[in-house]
A and B are shown apart, each in its own frame.
Chain A
Amino acid sequence: MKKEYQEHADLIKVADKRVNFWSKLFSSKPAVLAAVLIVLFICSALFAAFIAPYPYDKQNLPEMMQAPSKKHLFGTDELGRDIFSRVVYGTRISLMVGFLSVLISTSVGTVLGALAGYYGGVVDQLVTGFTDIVYSFPVSLLAIAVVAALGSSLFNLIIVISMVSWAGYARLVRGQVFSLKEWDFVEAARALGASNLRIIVKHILPNTVAPIIVMATLEIPKAIIIESTLSFLGLGVPPPTPSWGAIMNAGRAFILDAPWITMAPGLVMMVLVLAFNLFGDALRDALDPRLND
């Protein structure tokens, strides 16, 4: 009887915590603003064809290198293409690279980290050693090396960014699993005859979701910056696909006469990255009990 009562109280506590999480997350104004911005960017990626006033590759030489105006919100480039339209379409590349590479690297990192943390021993040593090496090697140099070897395309870019960023998740999940596996509920599951796979997937991993989500949210902007940096160096998505980095790279040659070609996409990108960073910080504050004083 007493136990039942206790369980009931626990359930209430869990429900309380959930309500607390959402109210806490959206009680901070920056988090709300960031969430709205992220949704707006996702919409502009999905509905680029309706939002952009011109096709992204439509050349219009008589109107080349025009400063921002009502007709061309962000001005035009050296071929008379509308920068605003190109930036709107560029959202697609940035978000696609951001989401997909984080999805891949989270999956790879979580699987490897869980295996290392749960089984320990040789598996752990191998995974940890490998993780340490990848982790201590600077991301962008590794990315440049891989692109230099494989050539540049959207697909390669996503693979490259995933390849260089899974190590952080592996470390995080390994540490979490390592301590979680000693808990009584894992022992209980084992006593009931649950297989290792079931214990990892059903009992341990759900408890690591919160920090993984925080990390993933903060990794998306990093992936977006790496993509634009590689594209800026000319090692990203090949033209005429409008990626923000590529637009800025092309605009670099005209920065003195037409600074808007480089300034506008950079500013837009900064807003998106800032939104993800703010949202990630707010998520962490709402989820991390250590800061709840």
Chain B
Amino acid sequence: MLRYLIKKLLFMIPIIIGSTIIIFLILHLSPGDPVNMIVGPNVTPEVYENISRSLGLDKPLTTQYFIFLGKLLRGDLGQSILQKRPVLDIVLERFPRTLTIGVFSLLLSFSIAIPMGIIAAVKRKTAADYMSMSFSLVGISMPTFWFGLLLLYFFAYKFRIFPLSGYETWKHYVLPVITVGLTDAAVTARMMRSSMLEVIRQDYIRTARAKGVKEIIVITKHALKNAVLPVITLLGMRIGWIFAGSAVIETVFSIPGIGRLMVDAIFSRDYPIVQGSMLILVISITLGNMLADILYALVDPRIKY
């Protein structure tokens, strides 16, 4: 178990290093000169030199990367060009909103998808199966932002049940959570169904049934534990999907979270903010993956190595 977790942890290292390289390069690959982006195109050569040196732009690229990495390790994400505040402060101020949407949509998604997938598999080729698989197919085929706009239009504007925009009360989070949760449930339910179908074909299920175990016990005790394993593996990917999708959902519902911050900063060319918000998303995704791995190890007793 410990060895398994250490192996998984070690696997995170290249991902984190790879992401920091990508995030570092964003600033350097982007069209336009970073100094001109900060102070505008009309500066005297001395001012240009000064800013360039203070940003470390006069050093070779590799040296700059290691300086960037060193600062990251000390929690220094730099200074926002537009807001003139430390990036870390801005990012931390907005992160809870993104996290709230992420956690609750994941909970909603799994609490819908797992029972739905099980029922669809057990009652294969019945109305229940067709209905839940149609739901899931439609959910997969729908762009998340469009579904969000649809909910916003009807439930916030037409029926006035939820507020149109803002982020102060729990009511502001209901529609975003439903949007992400339902679209995500569509993917997970499909996965749960095919995994359950695989499991109930196994010999030990036949044995359990032959012993005269009640069907409900066969499903909930014998089959479920095995069928849920691939879904837990999927959990890591779903967490990634939800965080990466925060830009979209926060745009639709005008919630100033990390995703929206990142996209706005891309437009205003506030690159330290782009880097900072991307980094915190990557860290959350990696931690989420780790959490999924730990959960997997807890559920699957075969993992001992």
Q: A interface vs B, CB < 8 Å?
A: 129, 132-133, 136-142, 144-145, 147-151, 221, 225, 228-229, 232-235, 245, 248, 252, 255-256, 259, 262-263, 266, 269-270, 273-274, 277-278, 281
A263 / chain B contacts, CB cutoff of 8 Å: 149-150, 153
In the complex, chain B residues 85-110 whose Cβ is within 8 Å of any chain A Cβ: none
In the complex, chain B residues 196-218 whose Cβ is within 8 Å of any chain A Cβ: none
Given known pairs A129-B14, A255-B152, the reply for A229 and B143 (CB within 8 Å) is yes
Of residues B15, B25, B247, B274, which shows the largest number of chain A Cβ atoms within 10 Å of its Cβ? B247
Determine which of B138, B149, B240, B243 lies in contact with A255 in the assembled complex, contact meaning CB atoms within 8 Å.
Answer: B149
A148 touches B274 (CB 8 A): yes
User: CA–CA, A269 to B149, complex, Å?
Assistant: 14
- Which stretch (B40-48, B56-64, B261-269, B296-304) binds chain A? B261-269
B80 within 8 Å of A by Cβ?
Answer: no
Nearest-neighbour CB distance to chain A for B21, whole angstroms, equals 11
Nearest-neighbour CB distance to chain A for B13, whole angstroms, equals 10
- Which stretch (B26-34, B68-76, B167-175) binds chain A? B26-34
Given known pairs A141-B278, A256-B153, A274-B141, the reply for A133 and B146 (CB within 8 Å) is no
B237 / chain A contacts, CB cutoff of 8 Å: 136, 138
Q: B interface vs A, CB < 8 Å?
A: 11, 14-15, 18-19, 22-23, 25-26, 29-31, 137-138, 140-146, 149-150, 152-153, 157, 236-237, 240-241, 243-245, 247-248, 251-252, 262-263, 266-267, 274, 278, 281-282, 285, 289
B30 touches A148 (CB 8 A): yes
A136 touches B289 (CB 8 A): yes
B15 touches A137 (CB 8 A): yes
Q: Which residue of A lies closest to B239 (CB)?
A: A138
Given known pairs A133-B14, A221-B141, the reply for A233 and B281 (CB within 8 Å) is no
Given known pairs A129-B14, A248-B145, the reply for A140 and B236 (CB within 8 Å) is no
Determine which of A132, A141, A235, A262 lies in contact with B243 in the assembled complex, contact meaning CB atoms within 8 Å.
Answer: A141
Q: Which 8 A-B pairs have the closest CB atoms?
A: A266-B146, A138-B244, A138-B240, A141-B244, A274-B141, A149-B29, A273-B141, A140-B244
B22 / chain A contacts, CB cutoff of 8 Å: 142, 145
Nearest-neighbour CB distance to chain B for A284, whole angstroms, equals 11
A269 touches B143 (CB 8 A): yes
Nearest-neighbour CB distance to chain B for A231, whole angstroms, equals 10
Nearest-neighbour CB distance to chain A for B245, whole angstroms, equals 6
User: CA–CA, A129 to B10, complex, Å?
Assistant: 12
A-B contact count (CB 8 A): 121
Nearest-neighbour CB distance to chain B for A253, whole angstroms, equals 11
User: CA–CA, A133 to B144, complex, Å?
Assistant: 25
Given known pairs A148-B266, A252-B149, A262-B146, the reply for A136 and B247 (CB within 8 Å) is no
Q: Which residue of B lies closest to A256 (CB)?
A: B157
B274 touches A278 (CB 8 A): no
Determine which of B14, B19, B143, B263 lies in contact with A266 in the assembled complex, contact meaning CB atoms within 8 Å.
Answer: B143
B14 / chain A contacts, CB cutoff of 8 Å: 129, 133
Chain A interface mostly: helix
A151 / chain B contacts, CB cutoff of 8 Å: 30-31
Given known pairs A141-B243, A269-B143, A277-B140, the reply for A235 and B266 (CB within 8 Å) is yes
Given known pairs A137-B240, A148-B274, A256-B157, the reply for A229 and B15 (CB within 8 Å) is no
B278 / chain A contacts, CB cutoff of 8 Å: 141, 144-145
A132 touches B282 (CB 8 A): no
A269 touches B29 (CB 8 A): no
Nearest-neighbour CB distance to chain A for B173, whole angstroms, equals 19
A136 touches B244 (CB 8 A): no
B19 touches A137 (CB 8 A): yes
B150 / chain A contacts, CB cutoff of 8 Å: 263, 266
A278 / chain B contacts, CB cutoff of 8 Å: 137
A277 touches B281 (CB 8 A): no
Given known pairs A137-B15, A145-B26, A149-B25, the reply for A248 and B244 (CB within 8 Å) is no
A136 touches B26 (CB 8 A): no
B141 / chain A contacts, CB cutoff of 8 Å: 221, 270, 273-274, 277
User: CA–CA, A78 to B301, complex, Å?
Assistant: 60
B152 / chain A contacts, CB cutoff of 8 Å: 255
Given known pairs A148-B30, A248-B146, the reply for A140 and B245 (CB within 8 Å) is yes
Determine which of B144, B243, B267 lies in contact with A138 in the assembled complex, contact meaning CB atoms within 8 Å.
Answer: B243
B262 touches A144 (CB 8 A): yes
Nearest-neighbour CB distance to chain B for A31, whole angstroms, equals 13
A255 / chain B contacts, CB cutoff of 8 Å: 149, 152-153, 157
A229 touches B149 (CB 8 A): no
A138 touches B241 (CB 8 A): yes
Q: Which residue of A lies closest to B242 (CB)?
A: A138
Given known pairs A129-B14, A141-B282, the reply for A232 and B251 (CB within 8 Å) is yes
A142 / chain B contacts, CB cutoff of 8 Å: 22
A138 touches B285 (CB 8 A): yes
Determine which of A149, A232, A281 lies in contact with B145 in the assembled complex, contact meaning CB atoms within 8 Å.
Answer: A232
B263 / chain A contacts, CB cutoff of 8 Å: 144, 233-235
